[in-house]
Structure 1
Amino acid sequence: MYAKVIIASWCLVALVNGRPDDSPVPEGYGYDAPEHQLSYGHQEKHEKGMPFDFEYAVKDDYKGLDFGHDSNSDGKVVTGKYYVLLPDGRTQIVTYTADHYNGYQAEVTYEGEAKPYHPAPSYGAPKPTYGAPAPTYEEPAPVYGAPAPTYEEPTPVYGTPAPTYEEPKALYGAPDH
């Protein structure tokens, strides 16, 4: 489903950003790609492409994987096909062409019949659950003992001080009534 949306979006972008109405369409393959006037005033010149041809495929029956891609180009037009086995059992095949004049054009087809998806069973015994591992270290032994006191108990130098004041004297007499 997502692939359809993505491909439809690419096609819509290709339609909207296609060649300008006033640009001439060259006939045949002997012409360079036209310079397109972009909306912000710059001109875009497409480099001539390089021919290539590649192909790959992956098939893993154990995991249920089957996909691949092949593509080739003559330097001007890229053609190709990619496919993927979907979880519902169908194979989605996208056949495409792309060039500087027509953009990316794709055709999406499906082979096979859609079936309900059932995840593959997991083989083997269930994996045990483990608790936290026990520590593998021992409590460190102290390297040194408590420090020995480096002072002696002080001996008193002075006795208890005697009071140095006298009994206060009254400076005033009792008030008269």
Structure 2
Amino acid sequence: QYSYSYSVNDAVTGDNKEQHETRDGDVVSGSYSLVEADGTRRIVDYTADPINGFNAQVHKEAAVAHAPVAVAAPAPVIRTVAPAIRYAAPTVRYAAPTVSYAAPTVRYASPAISYAAPSYAVAHAPVGVAGHSSPVLHL
């Protein structure tokens, strides 16, 4: 269940509308109205339920005459000032481009080729020394 409503009445933009709606289970009913561009008010009353679907009745009311809005006339311009117009011819300068050419320097160096025989390092394991002493006999 829910029930809501809103309304707008904006004198600056002329927006004038309102709506309200209620729901009870699957039955919804409500209405909305708005002022159309020609000044007439359109009013729509609607209901919706599972048996009859959505049904709306639309009717219009004649435009309501509003009092004319007084508009202030703009103040007349008393004095105008002519803009100062000046023209100066653009300064045109031209200089011929400087043409110069220098031949590229070409150098060649033959690659350095060298060869060195590989060196081999050899290290031998130490020789094992075993000692033996005989028993000393004293007579």
Length-normalised TM-score, structure 2: 0.45
More helix by share: 1
More strand by share: 2
